[in-house]
Structure 1
Amino acid sequence: MNRREFTITSALGITGSLLLCCTEKNKIPFKKNQVIACIGDSVTFGGGNGYVELLQQLSDKKRPDLNLTFLNWGKSSETITGLTEAGHPGPRPYLFERLDELLEIKSIDILIFCYGINCGIYGKPSQKLFDSYKIGVLSFLEKARAKNIKTILLTPPPLALETVPVEVDLTAKFTWLNPYPNYDKEVLQEFKKTILSLKHDSLLASIDIHTPLSKSQATCYDKDPIHPNMQGHQLIANTIIENLAF
């Protein structure tokens, strides 16, 4: 089964669990010695020195008694839609080609999920694209439910073109180097709505990191419009911590 077939067939077993649980608005409690895996693309990977590592530092400082472990499972370029734009050096990594193996090699209590910036391949919006993203998120939640793992969904971060503008060639194919100018407003905002509206019995919370990063673009981005700088990663970590019972 190829990646696109997986996305379509995964939708069939999902509907039954959508309304079983509404996300609690209260802060999320953790138990002692829990392992939290943070899975996502290059924003999550953060060069091995981003918000995941900051979460570990903050938890060690605020609640050393809990002895929590945060794992960085970020992978650069990865998507949950299985799409790759023209000109990309080979197919983009696809989460569902590695997720089963990851969940077999380590016992995980909570998964923190952050995908979307790459999932629309930096082009124009379409209903097919939005459906593919939603099915990808739901497929992830089903995988977690099957393993009895609780999840926290993060919205995608913004494409910060206001602070780090890119000269776009509208006659060429849209890519991460040549993004559709309204990608953030017309695509990532829809992905954000999907994350914040979903309900599922494995879901502990959905957290909006798009809005605070967008409001702080000037300080959170400098080298490119995709990857937050260290201040941006600190803001992501702080936003997550605000939703935890620390």
Structure 2
Amino acid sequence: MSSFAQPFSAGTKKVLFLGNSITYAGQYIVDIEAYCMMNYPGQKIEFINMGLPSETVSGLSEAGHAGGKFPRPDLHERLDRVMALTKPDLVFACYGMNDGLYMPFDNVRFQKFKDGISWLHDKYAAKGIRIVHLTPPVYDELRGGKKGYSEVLDKYSDWLLGQKKAKNWEVADLHYPMKKYLEAHRKVDAALNINGFYLAADGVHPGETGHWIMAKALLLYLGEKKVSTAADLPGAVTHSKKYELIKLIAQKQDLMKDAWLTAAGHKRPMKKGLPLEEATIKAAEIDEQISSLMK
């Protein structure tokens, strides 16, 4: 057990994550769930991943998105159903990466992002549900090729961070810790005359290290100071069966995220999940394996 206060209040039973494909990938959610379960086994929390690939909170979509197959999904279309289905005690929302449409900075697009985030905030605040906004992950122009888009996400992140003082919002910064890490490693590359380091192979979607930086930043926001020096999730937990536990949590998350998305409904073409009731039964079987390992 950690000597620090637990990151979630005793009354927190359901934690919802909203976002795009980075949230849907979900490794940072797995990291947070695994960390909390192994450090605070007495607190039972359901971590719900409702990230939807390609989604924006701005309602914008570029012409010919996905080769013209479908426009970007808009959170406005599904949020009421998500709220009714999940009934969370706490919400983490991570938007911005797609909202600038990978184009140079534009005030109209920026305003759409700000309007969308404010609308999302008000939807949960009106019901007395705690919402924490997450700044968007870093965009790597060397890998992604969209010149100037890193600066766009700097501006989006700065605005979000400014809402802490302007409106007393809760905002956890993922963007600048990732940017600092990326830039530090790029300096090492430059000194050695190599060009190999990246957090996201395509400039957008972080790999395992990037997701851990996201998870660590959020855990630090929640008061978990001991993760500050952990290079990865296994370095932040001491359970003798941590690798088996992490694998099982990832399996459960992969199962449930598609079931939740399908149950709530959305307009993006993608694989359907199991019916929620069936998925919940299978998840309970995984939970039994987890409980056995935790003893």
Structure 1 residue 70 and structure 2 residue 47: aligned? yes
Q: Aligned residue for 2:150?
A: 184
* Structure 1 position 32, deviation (Å): 4.3
Provide the residue aligned with 1:40 in structure 2. Answer: 19
1:94 aligns to 2:59 (yes or no): no
3-state SS of the aligned residue for 1:215? helix
Counterpart residue type for residue 36 of structure 1: V
Map of 1:158 onto structure 2 = 138
Match 2:125 to one of 145, 167, 186: 145
Distance in 1 (CA, whole Å) between partners of 2:59 and 2:144 is: 27
> Secondary structure, in 3 states, of the residue corresponding to 1:198?
helix
Hey, what's the Cα distance between the residues in 2 that align with 1:94 and 1:130? 16
TM-score normalized by structure 2? 0.64
State the alpha-carbon separation in 2 of the partners of residues 80 and 159 from structure 1. Answer: 18
Q: Shift in Å at residue 130 of structure 1? A: 1.6
Tell me: CA distance 1:135–1:61, structure 2 relative to 1, closer, same or farther (3 Å): same
- Identity percentage of aligned residues: 29
Instruction: Give the whole-Å Cα distance in 2 for the aligned partners of 1:238 and 1:222.
Output: 17
Q: Which of these two proteins has the greater Rg computed from alpha carbons?
A: 2
Shift in CA distance, 220/153, structure 1 to aligned 2, threshold 3 Å: farther
Amino acid in the other structure paired with 1:221 = L
Asked if the contact 2:12–2:90 (Cα under 8 Å) also holds between the matched residues in 1, the reply is no
Distance across 2 between alignment mates of 1:215 and 1:115: 20
Instruction: Identify unmatched segments of 5+ residues in structure 2.
Output: 1-5, 186-196, 225-295
Letter in 1 for 2:215: A
| 8 Å contact from structure 1 (residues 80, 119) kept in 2 | yes
Distance in 2 (CA, whole Å) between partners of 1:245 and 1:31 is: 15
Residues 104-139 of structure 1, C-alpha deviation per residue, up to 9 Å, x if partnerless?
012210100000000010112122222111111100
Query: Residue 61 of structure 2 aligns to which amino acid in structure 1?
Result: T
TM-score when normalising by structure 1? 0.76
Deviations 1:72-126 (A, max 9, x none): 1100000011111122132100001011001001221010000000001011212
CA contact (8 A) 2:58 2:112 kept: yes
Greater percentage in helix = 2
Q: Detail structure 1 runs of 4+ shifted over 3 Å in the superposition.
A: 199-203
> Which residue matches 1:108?
88
The structure-2 alpha-carbon separation of the partners of 1:192 and 1:39, relative to structure 1 and needing over 3 Å to count, comes to same
Once structures 1 and 2 are overlaid, which stretch shifts more, 230-239 or 80-89? 80-89
Deviation at 1:147, TM superposition (A): 2.3
* Structure 2 counterpart SS, 1:184: helix
The change in CA–CA distance for 1:149 and 1:220 in structure 2 (over 3 A counts) is farther
Name the SS for the 2:204 alignment partner.
coil
Give, in whole Å, the separation in 2 of the partners of 1:33 and 1:210.
Answer: 26
The alignment status of 1:215 with 2:180, answered yes or no, reads yes
Label 1:66 to 1:192 Cα distance change in 2 as closer, same or farther (>3 A).
same
CA distance in 1, matches of 2:108, 2:74: 18
The residue aligned with 1:196 is: 161
- Greater RCO (Cα-Cα under 8 Å, separation 6 or more): 1
Q: Give the 3 Å change call, closer, same or farther, for CA 241–233 of structure 1 in structure 2.
A: same
Pair 1:55 & 2:35 matched: no
Q: Aligned AA for 1:114?
A: C
Give the corresponding residue for 1:238.
Answer: 216
Q: How many residue pairs end up in the alignment? A: 202
Aligned-pair Cα RMSD in Å: 2.0
Which digits, 9 at most, give the CA deviation of each residue in 1:175-198, with x for residues without a partner? xxxx3x00111x111110111011
2:60 — aligned with what? Answer: 83
Whole-Å Cα distance in 2 between the matches of residues 115 and 61 of structure 1? Answer: 29
How far off its partner does 1:70 sit?
A: 1.3
